[in-house]
Amino acid sequence: MGSLDMSVLSSFGGIIRENQSLAPFTWLQIGGSTRYLVEPNDEQQLIATVQCCAAATIPMRVLGGGSNLLLRESGFDGATFSLTSPAFGQMRRVDNAIVCGAGAKLSHLIAFSVGAGLGGLEHLIGIPGTVGGALRCNAGTDDGDIGHVVHSAKLLTKDGKVVEVRGAELAFSHRVSSLDELVILEATFYLEPGEIRGLTKREQTFWIVKRSKQPSFPERAAIAFVDPDGYKASELLQQSGFNGAIEGAVRLSSSYPNYLFTSDGATSTQVLTLLERVRNGVQDRTGVQLQLHLQIW
């Protein structure tokens, strides 16, 4: 693996920083550092820095909203891209579609579409994170997933090439998508025209129901497991006696057992130890193998 020389670092005017902690970028607030933190201001800078990293054979990853990221204390010996610039969160209406940058918060996309009189995303209200993160894991609820309304996507490959993926090329299944290139730049959502007042009421109803099923989010929280097809992870955890399970400074909620919390002194090792113990216990008791909701770096 190579490295970026000083001329490259200086040429990008401070958007690349070395040896930066990633813990503040995650909801759990734990983990190590990244060798390079890249915070481009626009798509052109993103492409240029990706191409530089590719040429130097530097591993690359992209941060989303950090709601489902667990970073090991050993950190990431590569370049981490944070797409928090407003340039990556632009939204516009085109007929009955919304074109949205993947850096936008999912909640902002839902509000924008409802305000534009376009329905089809309201049931996703309350799901944290960015649009890009929601697309990559095909976020959804019992009322449907985000993949059902995706018409096309604009992606950036690991060698810095922009590609368009449309229609039949897209594949979405239960909490999985085929959008596996380095960066999701933007996506086009085909939605249904509707009356704004009715869509707003529908959004509010989904929000009330969602809030009744989750704790008031303190800092340092994350969802532990994906709901298996046909099951609720929280119910499996409750039935198996793992509500309130603890490992060091990490615990599962007693009332909402699929929510994991960390406190001072927590480590990624504690998180992984707890989740593996719980997974094995649930499988022994129910025969269902839970999959981690957390992405492990």
| CATH number of the domain that residue 42 is part of | 3.30.43.10
What number of other Cβ atoms are within 10 A of residue 121's Cβ?
A: 26
Q: What phi and psi values does residue 72 have, to the nearest 5 degrees?
A: -65, 155
Q: Are residues 170 and 262 in the same domain?
A: no
Alpha-carbon span 166 to 150, nearest angstrom? 9
Joined together, the tokens standing for residue 26 give: 């995650």
Q: Which of 47, 71, 86 is the last residue of a domain?
A: 86
Q: Given this model, what pLDDT does residue 51 score?
A: 96
Q: Are residues 206 and 275 in the same domain?
A: no
Question: Which residue range forms the structural domain that includes residue 208?
Answer: 89-212
Q: What phi and psi values does residue 47 have, to the nearest 5 degrees?
A: -60, -45
Alpha-carbon span 257 to 236, nearest angstrom? 9
* Domain assignment present for 263: yes
Q: Are residues 201 and 125 in the same domain?
A: yes
Let me know: does 278 contact 245? Beta carbons within 8 Å.
Answer: yes
* Domain assignment present for 183: yes
Q: How many domains does the chain have?
A: 3
Tell how far CA 202 is from the center of its chain. 24
Q: Are residues 27 and 132 in the same domain?
A: no
* Domain assignment present for 185: yes
| CATH number of the domain that residue 270 is part of | 3.90.78.10
Q: Are residues 176 and 118 in the same domain?
A: yes
Walk along the chain (297 residues) and give the pLDDT tens digit of each residue: 678 877 777 788 789 999 999 999 999 999 999 999 999 999 999 999 999 999 999 999 999 999 999 999 999 999 999 999 999 999 999 999 999 999 999 999 999 999 999 999 999 999 999 999 999 999 999 899 999 999 999 999 999 999 999 977 989 988 889 998 999 999 999 999 999 999 999 999 999 998 888 776 667 999 999 999 889 999 999 999 999 999 999 999 999 999 999 999 999 999 999 999 999 999 999 999 999 999 999
pTM as predicted? 0.91
Name the residue with tokens 């579409």: 113
Q: Are residues 226 and 207 in the same domain?
A: no
| Burial (0-12, 13-18, 19+ Cβ within 10 Å), 246 | exposed
* Domain assignment present for 1: no
Alpha-carbon span 276 to 34, nearest angstrom? 25
Q: Are residues 82 and 95 in the same domain?
A: no
Q: Given this model, what pLDDT does residue 3 score?
A: 84
Name the residue with tokens 């960066």: 183
* Domain assignment present for 97: yes
Q: Are residues 148 and 198 in the same domain?
A: yes
- DSSP string covering 14-54, please? TSEEEEEE-GGGSSS----EEEEEE--SSHHHHHHHHHHHH
Q: Are residues 26 and 102 in the same domain?
A: no
Beta strands in 138-195 (DSSP E): 140-141, 144-145, 150-156, 162-166, 172-173, 176-177, 183-190, 192-193
Q: Which of 86, 117, 148 is the last residue of a domain?
A: 86
Q: Given this model, what pLDDT does residue 8 score?
A: 73
Q: Given this model, what pLDDT does residue 12 score?
A: 84
Q: Are residues 169 and 60 in the same domain?
A: no
Q: Which residues are catalytic?
A: 175
Helix ranges (H only) for the chain are 6-11, 43-55, 106-115, 131-136, 196-212, 233-239, 268-286
Q: What phi and psi values does residue 96 have, to the nearest 5 degrees?
A: -100, 30
Q: Are residues 25 and 81 in the same domain?
A: yes
Alpha-carbon span 218 to 44, nearest angstrom? 37
* Domain assignment present for 135: yes
Q: Which of 168, 186, 212 is the last residue of a domain?
A: 212
Alpha-carbon span 74 to 68, nearest angstrom? 18
* Domain assignment present for 192: yes
One-letter amino acid identity for 116?
A
Q: Are residues 206 and 235 in the same domain?
A: no
